[in-house]
């Protein structure tokens, strides 16, 4: 009988193309998707940032220093991409910290800590990251926390009131 070749396959790490956007003028980076929100930084003319999420009028971008919102009117696609190993899914939820919790500038424990939140801090969830992290906002600070150390208000409501048939927002 013919011998069967046995080979071990190593699973590929899935990578995603993440778009790079470029500022068409000097533009403010804001803590929320409104012109009234806190200015937390600036993209200068022709500076680039990584696009995380976009909606009708605003794009959530990441620079080397921060994460924030830029009005779409002042951004253009650079037609270039970087490879990322995670994707963001837009989420509307509130997460409550279940312990003291670090907020970081990338969704990994190796990333720099921006701030440490106390137990029972309410965080606005902007996006879920496919590696268990959440992109959150609290008092104008935007960054990543690990979902294992939070309680989702949306998930809690679904469990507590199954008859209401609560949908993800």
HEC-encoded secondary structure of 128-160: EECCCEEEEEECCEEEEEEHHHEEEHHHHHHHH
For residue range 72-87, what is the model confidence (pLDDT) as tens digits? 999 999 889 988 888 8
Q: What is the pLDDT, as a whole number, of residue 85?
A: 80
The pTM of the full predicted model, rounded to 2 decimals, is: 0.80
| C-alpha closest to that of 127 among 87, 96, 154 | 87
Give the pLDDT band of residue 157 (cuts 50, 70, 90).
Answer: confident
Q: What is the pLDDT, as a whole number, of residue 14?
A: 67
Structure tokens at 1: 């009988």
The whole-angstrom separation of Cα 36 and Cα 168 is 27
Mean predicted confidence (pLDDT) in 120-124: 96
Mean predicted confidence (pLDDT) in 139-159: 90
Structure tokens at 119: 């137990």
- Above 90 in pLDDT, residue 27? yes
Please state the separation of Cα 22 from the chain's center in Å.
Answer: 19
For residue range 43-78, what is the model confidence (pLDDT) as tens digits? 999 999 999 999 889 999 999 888 999 999 999 998
Sign of CA dihedral 58, 141, 118, 53: positive
How many alpha carbons fall within 13 Å on the CB side of residue 136? 32
């Amino acid at each position: 009988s013919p011998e069967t070749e046995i080979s071990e396959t190593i699973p590929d790490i899935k990578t995603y193309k993440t778009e790079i956007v470029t500022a068409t003028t000097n533009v403010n980076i804001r803590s929320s998707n409104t012109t009234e929100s806190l200015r937390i930084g600036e993209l200068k003319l022709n500076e680039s940032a990584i696009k995380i999420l976009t909606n009708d009028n605003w794009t959530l971008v990441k620079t080397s220093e921060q994460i924030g919102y830029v009005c779409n009117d002042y951004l253009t696609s650079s037609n270039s991409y970087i490879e990322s190993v995670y994707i963001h899914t837009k989420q509307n939820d509130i997460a409550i910290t279940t312990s003291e919790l670090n907020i970081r500038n990338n969704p990994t424990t190796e990333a720099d800590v921006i701030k440490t939140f106390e137990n029972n801090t309410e965080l606005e969830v902007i996006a879920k990251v496919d590696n268990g992290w959440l992109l959150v906002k609290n008092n104008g600070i935007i960054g990543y926390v690990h979902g294992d150390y939070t309680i989702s208000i949306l998930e809690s409501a679904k469990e507590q009131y199954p008859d209401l048939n609560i949908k993800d927002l």
